[in-house]
Amino acid sequence: MLRHIPLLAVTALGISAAPITVTNFSFELGAIGSPGGFSGTHPGWTGGVVFRPTVIQVPAVPLGIQVMYLAGDSNTVQTLTDTLASGLLYTLQVEVGSRADSIFINNYAVSLEAGANVLASVTSPTPANGAFTSITLQYSSTAASPGLGQALAIRLSHTGPVNSSAALFDNVRLDASASNPVPEPSSLALLGLGLAVIARYKYR
């Protein structure tokens, strides 16, 4: 006869993801006074311009009130203080958007680099006009990865007609976690205790 088994939460904890600092990740540094304005001042990034859209141009910005604006063939890059290390899973997340008023996104790319090496890059999905979509890029490093020990970099880019296409970027986040996390001894002990409790109730 089966008896009710008490709920026992058992979590095998490995090494949790650690955020990697991205300067000016939401492009709010270098404030633009009026909606619809642009600025070439955006600490932490090289290339591109920052844009403060009106609600007609972009109904909703993911974070804050400003975004990175890349028109035509252009790109912006940030070289980080962290270097590429072996045995880590890097996860890069970015919000990519398109204006709602005639200047639509064409082709964009989000890339994670180490030195002169492109580790991974994504070019889709394409956001709807006037909207943003979340993209996630992952790279698992090994002892054979190119660029080990070199500075990581995040590159955002767009290609297309300069006067009729542009991409918007916002909320750039990067973290790293162990590729194959090993449970800590305390976690293994907790798991063993949970199995013992379940076995005890099963055979009573």
CA 155 to chain CA centroid, nearest Å: 12
What is the CATH number assigned to the segment(s) 18-181?
Answer: 2.60.120.260
CA distance 4 to 10: 18
pLDDT in tens, 74-124: 999 999 999 999 999 999 999 999 999 989 999 999 999 999 999 999 999
Domain ranges of the chain: 18-181
72 falls in which pLDDT band (50, 70, 90)?
very high
CA distance 188 to 158: 48
Q: What is the pTM of this model?
A: 0.82
In the block, tokens 């028109």 appear at 71
44 falls in which pLDDT band (50, 70, 90)?
very high
Write phi, then psi, for 47 (nearest 5 degrees): 100, 160
pLDDT in tens, 122-169: 999 999 999 999 999 999 999 999 999 999 999 999 999 988 899 999
CA distance 50 to 41: 7
CA distance 74 to 155: 11
CA 71 to chain CA centroid, nearest Å: 21
Average pLDDT on 16-36 reads: 96
2 falls in which pLDDT band (50, 70, 90)?
very low
What is the rounded average pLDDT for all residues in the chain?
86
Name, in order, each residue with C-beta under 8 angstroms of 169's C-beta and a sequence gap of 6 or more.
27, 67, 68, 70, 76, 94, 95, 96, 97, 110, 156
CA 118 to chain CA centroid, nearest Å: 16
State which of 11-20, 180-189, 193-202 shows the largest mean pLDDT: 11-20
**4 has a pLDDT exceeding 70:** no
